[in-house]
């Protein structure tokens, strides 16, 4: 009999992107510090994680990363212990997560969030699906936004599949939960996209997915950033 999966208390926040689509706003600051309802985007992400029970966070940094460090410090003001993974060269999403995980306490699972996504995705739903024995990672999925109508993946019986013609698709929300064992298949310091282990898990039938229909916005595009700035984001 397998022991029950422990609720994760660790997360990686990906904040090393260059913000090229927002270049007119991010030339002198990281995209993660774009204000949303008067609060930097990454702060919304951290509050979301704390509400779920996350206590240890590693944040990867590159473009103007010192500004994030000055704002967040060691995380005590948020009820967190924050470590920083500075990338002299970008390691892509997967490589960034793999390296950042080395700064966290040991654990079976880790939440991964993009710092430029504002959402109220129910992380407990991802965790409950992760408890299924064959599942090794779970993706948060959202209805396809107007800027990405073709979507990323299919979803059937809670299992994520590759996009196929004439099948409904969903867009990856930038929020996911991973088994540590999947990530340690890759060497620390090697650049790779999270799409690589996603595809491998799809081939194994081991990638779960949960559809979120609530608040979600990717602020990586000027139109989306301006739209969400007009909306009220409830405090946590």
Read off the pLDDT of residues 65-97 as tens digits, 9 standing for 90 and up: 999 999 999 999 999 999 999 999 999 999 999
| Residue 91 is assigned to a structural domain of this protein | yes
pLDDT of res. 219: 81
Domain membership of residue 235 (yes or no) is no
pLDDT of residue 2: 47
What is the overall mean pLDDT for the chain? 89
DSSP lists the bridge partners of residue 210 as 140
Residue 16 lies in a domain: yes
pLDDT at 35 (0 to 100): 87
Contact yes or no for 66/167 (Cβ under 8 A): no
CB 40 within 8 A of CB 32: yes
pTM score, whole prediction: 0.89
Q: Is 61 domain-assigned?
A: yes
Domain with residue 66: its CATH number is 3.90.550.10
Residue 1, pLDDT above cutoff 50:
no
Whether 4 maps to a domain, the answer reads no
236 domain-assigned: no
- Number of domains comprising the chain: 1
What residue numbers bound the domain in which 215 lies? Answer: 10-230
- Return the pLDDT at 234: 44
Nearest to 174 by CA among 107, 93, 102: 93
Predicted local confidence at residue 233, as pLDDT: 46
Please say if the pLDDT value at position 103 is more than 70.
yes
């Amino acid at each position: 009999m397998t022991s029950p999966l422990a609720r994760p208390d660790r997360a990686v926040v990906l904040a090393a992107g260059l913000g090229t689509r927002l270049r007119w706003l991010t030339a002198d600051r990281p995209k993660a510090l774009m204000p949303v309802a008067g609060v930097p985007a990454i702060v919304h992400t951290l509050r979301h994680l704390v509400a779920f029970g996350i206590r240890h966070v590693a944040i990867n940094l590159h473009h103007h990363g010192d500004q994030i460090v000055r704002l967040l410090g060691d995380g005590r003001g948020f009820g967190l212990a924050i470590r920083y993974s500075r990338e002299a060269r970008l390691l892509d999403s997967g490589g960034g997560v793999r390296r950042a995980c080395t700064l966290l306490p040991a654990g079976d699972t880790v939440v991964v969030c993009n710092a430029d996504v504002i959402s109220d995705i129910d992380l407990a739903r991802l965790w409950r699906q992760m408890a299924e024995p064959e599942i090794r990672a779970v993706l948060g999925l959202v209805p396809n936004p107007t800027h990405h109508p073709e979507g990323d993946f299919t979803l059937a019986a809670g299992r994520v599949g590759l996009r196929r013609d004439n099948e409904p698709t969903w867009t990856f929300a930038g929020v996911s939960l991973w088994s540590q064992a999947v990530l340690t298949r890759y060497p620390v310091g090697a650049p790779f996209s999270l799409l690589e282990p996603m595809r491998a898990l799809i081939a194994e039938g081991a990638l779960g997915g949960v559809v979120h229909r609530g608040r979600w916005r990717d602020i990586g595009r000027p139109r989306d950033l301006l739209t969400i700035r007009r909306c009220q984001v409830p405090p946590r």
